[in-house]
Amino acid sequence: MDDVESAFRQAHGRAVATLVRVFGDISLAEDAVQDAFVAAMQRWPRDGIPDNPAGWIVVTARHRAIDAVRRGERGRELHQQIAATQPAGEPTQAPGEDLGLMRDDQLRLIFTCCHPAIRVEHQVALTLRLIGGLSPAEVARAFLVNGASMSKRLVRAKYKIAAARIPYRVPSDAELPARLRAVLSVLYLIYTAGADDADERGDLRGESIRLARLLVALMPDEPEAVGLLALMLLCEARVPARHGGDVVLLRDQDRSLWDRGLIEEGHDLVLACMQRARMGPFQLQAAIQGVHCAAPTFEDTDWPAIVRLYDRLLLVMPTQVVAMNRAIAVAETEGPAAGLGLLDAVAVELDGYHLLHAARATLLERLGRAAEAAEAYDRAAELATTDKDVGFLSRKRDEAAAN
């Protein structure tokens, strides 16, 4: 049964995307694919999973959708149009479905989900639901909201697409840079939401990596898509060293636990990006993570290279969080006082960000200013959003206060 669910989830995005193209209705496509899943749960355990699960789902769901609209005003016309392209008989595969066309359908649906007219939280939810195949309850758990709220969010997002007549298409070349950034940002938000709890939300990280791989396969000439995938892989490689009941800082991680296969793949992608000489924000962030992953120990990290990469990142992504991370790297090259001065320069803007206060606390400790460090750890613990982070920061506060 698990194999059936896994195969269905992998086929879900392709099937929904294809039916949206055929019927022009996201809700109808989604309901039809869900009906096809019920049929798959009945048939596949008995008959075996077909060689082309997505094709099977598309053909079966198409039958269900036609039945649903047949009684409508356009039902007979729609039925005649689609029947002409539909193979007869029991659905096992979809010989009439071109896999390249199905990939294009997914690309169109990803850009539809991430249209700038839709709120970011709705973009994330729709992408996970329609492309990732997660149920509304699974999406709700991923973002720590109740199922009813998530269902309303999904309904509002689909209504927005219909009401605003958001086109189901890949943007033109002129629109693509801005629209692609939205898609990449949504996928990265999904990954980081899973990274907040490495033990409990690995499925969310895995789904975001799968979607990033899909985007690279669909748009192999987009270096920022490649950069995002590299960034995810290099971050994911270190997850095994972070598992357990406590926070494990980068300097304290057992690097023998890092996934060398993911690191090698991530490094290859970063090198491919560098050869294009079009380094955007995700590529630069991936390059920074690549430097970290290349170091056999924390002390062997090439911090000057990381500072140089942050200098470039600030030019294309001039945010306070990037400036904060650059300050942390500067502290490793020029000393904690230099790093603290740079952190204090962004402290007002990032006062509500717990990692800013945690970084300040660490540098204050290194400077021997234990009382100030304890206060900074207290502030970080107040702002932290997970029990694991709160517990870790509280213990660090106690250690600082004892000095």
Rounded Cα distance, 280 and 312, in Å = 9
- Position 400 in a domain: yes
pLDDT score for 263: 97
Rounded Cα distance, 329 and 284, in Å = 15
- Position 197 in a domain: no
Q: Which residues of 289-321 are buried (b: 16+ CB within 10 A; e: fewer)?
A: bbbbbeeeeeeebebebbbebbeebeeeeeeee
User: Contact 340/360 with Cβ under 8 angstroms?
Assistant: yes
- Tens digits of pLDDT across the chain (403 residues): 567 777 777 778 888 888 888 888 888 888 888 888 888 888 888 888 888 877 888 888 888 888 888 766 555 555 555 444 444 443 434 444 455 555 678 778 888 888 888 888 888 888 888 877 777 887 777 666 778 888 888 888 888 888 888 887 777 777 777 778 888 988 888 888 777 555 555 567 887 898 889 889 878 889 999 999 999 999 999 998 986 667 889 999 999 999 999 999 999 999 999 888 779 999 999 999 999 999 999 999 999 999 999 999 999 999 999 999 999 999 999 999 999 999 999 999 999 999 999 999 999 999 999 999 999 999 999 999 788 889 999 999 999 888 7
Q: Which residues of 27-57 are buried (b: 16+ CB within 10 A; e: fewer)?
A: ebbbbbbebbbebbeebbeeeebbebbbbbb
Tell which residue, 53, 63, 54, has the closest CA to residue 28: 63
- Position 107 in a domain: no
Host domain of residue 38: 2-94
- Position 62 in a domain: yes
Q: How many domains does the chain have?
A: 2
pLDDT score for 81: 52
Rounded Cα distance, 184 and 172, in Å = 17
User: Contact 280/223 with Cβ under 8 angstroms?
Assistant: yes
Cα dihedral value 387, 389, 390, 396, nearest 10: 140
pLDDT score for 293: 97
Tokens of 360: 């300040």
Tell which residue, 386, 316, 326, 329, has the closest CA to residue 350: 326
- Position 278 in a domain: no
Domain boundary among 74, 94, 114: 94
- Position 211 in a domain: no
Rounded Cα distance, 292 and 300, in Å = 9
Tell which residue, 32, 30, 25, has the closest CA to residue 13: 30
- Position 60 in a domain: yes
pLDDT score for 93: 40
pLDDT score for 331: 97
- Position 25 in a domain: yes
User: Contact 360/331 with Cβ under 8 angstroms?
Assistant: no
Domain boundary among 66, 94, 122: 94
In angstroms, what CA-CA distances link 100 with 19, 166, 207?
Answer: 15, 23, 21
Domain boundary among 48, 63, 94: 94
Task: Indicate which CATH number applies to the domain containing 325.
Answer: 1.25.40.10
Q: What would you report as the CA-atom Rg of the chain, rounded to the nearest whole angstrom?
A: 24
